[in-house]
Amino acid sequence: MSVHTVKEIVASLRRGEAKPSEWAARILECIRRADGRVGAFLHVDEEGALARAKSLDGQPVEGTLFGVPYALKDNICTAGLRTTAASRILENYVPPYSATVADKLASAGAVLVGKTNMDEFAMGSSTENSAFQPTRNPYDLERVPGGSSGGSAAAVAAGMVPFALGSDTGGSIRQPAAFCGVVGLKPTYGRVSRYGLIAFASSLDQIGPFTRTVEDAALVLEAISGFDPHDSTSVDEPVERFADGLDTGVRGLRVGVVTDIQEEGLHPGVKQAVEQAIAVLQGAGAEVVEVSLPHSRYAVATYYLIAPAEASSNLARYDGVRYGRRADADTLLEMYERTRSEGFGMEVKRRIIIGTYALSSGYYDAYYRRAQQMRTLIRQDFDRAFERCDVIALPTAPTPAFKLGEQLDDPLQMYLNDMYTIPANLAGIPGISVPCGLVEGLPVGVQILGRAFDEQTVLRAAHAYEQLRGFEMPVPALEGSA
């Protein structure tokens, strides 16, 4: 059993060893054979993918993603293809337009094969909150793949696609990447257009890739980045050739180690693996320096006021009037109540209630305003830290993947899975998770954070570690990997 990277697939097309339609057929066969056990996909568009791939046959191979099959998290809109956000309230929703990232990938010649499972409206850390099915970790089918982009992470880990896109609001790309032993990149807020991304928390959401290698992540990031006039939060920054310069090494690079990191709940094996990863960078010539992020201990509490408040506002549109599910009722108010009660799952309801309360009259200043003030302090901590270092290295998640159902009845424990990833979202900076070993037979990741819009340095450090770590992640023992 073998898996293939984006770079390898494009190279095979350039050499004339295969056609796009052959790769699409091979990937679709992999999905048919493996996904019944993993549950990574909500919709597979076999007909559309094959038609798209056949239209590329015989064309010159141009660009770095031409003919490459991929998947999208199901909160990224696709014209004519169902997009549900894993929610009953959007169970039959077919968007009239595609997200900017989907259009960019189509222009680059990539071939969309399907939409992946997720926690409903991206609210969760295990992909168990999907209204349709749980997704299982390819390394251990009794464990979660992480969330909320668990379907995308699992699909890449299982070799069903060479890359997939997810969204990261508080760690929803990096945490499942760590759990599933793949690379997951959250770009700087504003680097990638959010147009066509079904909103959870608009000031935090960002789209990014899952791949098998750091180089592949750089190639996908280049394709999806850039200013978009459809997105008012999109930033007009030049799009770099992110894969260039990856091999320049880390000699002289300053790697920050957080002295006041929260260690309560941190698995000793994860701590050791991350320390070994930092030692690898140091051995390659990087300078390790101590930095402090004193306010990050309040990041989880801050996030769970800001994100639910924004979710409460964003999800008000699902009222049964404009689109999506509409419950039968005798009065308008009853229709609102029944539509939302039947359409939203428990975790979504929980967050809407928290957010509405935080924004309510008399509580706004006590909760939401103070959370925004703490967010500023967290961002300022990073600004000061980056005066002393170029990147910061820390764990992606405090533990390896936990068992299905283990934390479903303990929301606080579930929320603490993101204690190392949330600060980067609050600060709007880029972060990547790279596999750094196995703990109890399960993948764990090291997280590398950088200055806003300095993905190049983050990728450079991550690539250097990946090349020097001395091991390859084992492929999960599933039939069907491409």
Cβ atoms within 10 Å of 265's Cβ, excluding its own? 12
Among residues 148, 152, 312, 481, the one annotated as catalytic is: 148
Q: What is the CATH number of the domain that holds 155?
A: 3.90.1300.10
Q: Label residues 78-104 b or e (16+ Cβ within 10 Å = b).
A: beebbbbbbbbbbeebebeebbbbbbb
Q: Label residues 384-418 b or e (16+ Cβ within 10 Å = b).
A: ebbeebbbbbbbbbbbbbbebebbbeeeeebbbbb
Could you confirm whether 149 is annotated as catalytic? no
Could you confirm whether 2 is annotated as catalytic? no
124 contact partners, CB below 8 Å, separation of at least 6: 147, 148, 347, 414
Residue 338 included in any domain: no
Among residues 125, 126, 152, 172, the one annotated as catalytic is: 172
**For residue 172, which of 69, 258, 75 has the smallest C-alpha distance?**
75
Q: Which two tokens stand for residue 435?
A: 């596999």
β-strands 41-44, 111-116 pairing: antiparallel
**For residue 416, which of 404, 431, 399 has the smallest C-alpha distance?**
399
Residue 405 included in any domain: yes
How far apart are alpha carbons 222 and 73 in whole angstroms?
Answer: 19
**For residue 345, which of 144, 40, 89 has the smallest C-alpha distance?**
89
Owning domain of residue 149: 6-259+383-468
Residue 366 included in any domain: no
Q: What is the number of domains present in the chain?
A: 1
Residue 396: its pLDDT value, please?
A: 98
Q: Which two tokens stand for residue 194?
A: 């959010």
How far apart are alpha carbons 157 and 153 in whole angstroms?
Answer: 6
Residue 451 included in any domain: yes
Residue 270 included in any domain: no
Residue 213 included in any domain: yes
How far apart are alpha carbons 224 and 192 in whole angstroms?
Answer: 6
Among residues 73, 104, 115, 186, the one annotated as catalytic is: 73
Residue 1: its pLDDT value, please?
A: 43
pLDDT averaged over consecutive 10-residue blocks of the chain (482 residues)?
86 97 98 97 98 97 96 98 98 97 98 98 97 98 97 98 98 98 98 98 98 98 98 96 95 97 95 98 98 97 97 95 91 94 96 95 90 98 98 98 94 91 98 97 98 98 97 81 51
How far apart are alpha carbons 136 and 126 in whole angstroms?
Answer: 9
Q: Could you tell me how far CA 63 lies from the centroid of its own chain?
A: 24
Half-sphere exposure at residue 261, Cβ-oriented, CA atoms within 13 angstroms:
22
Q: Under a CB-based contact definition with an 8 Å cutoff, are residues 76 and 196 in contact?
A: yes
| Element of type H or E holding 187 | none
pTM of the model: 0.96
Residue 324 included in any domain: no
Could you confirm whether 433 is annotated as catalytic? no
Residue 412: its pLDDT value, please?
A: 85
Residue 411 included in any domain: yes
Q: Which two tokens stand for residue 97?
A: 């337009």
Residue 2: its pLDDT value, please?
A: 63
63 contact partners, CB below 8 Å, separation of at least 6: 108, 109, 223
How far apart are alpha carbons 350 and 436 in whole angstroms?
Answer: 34
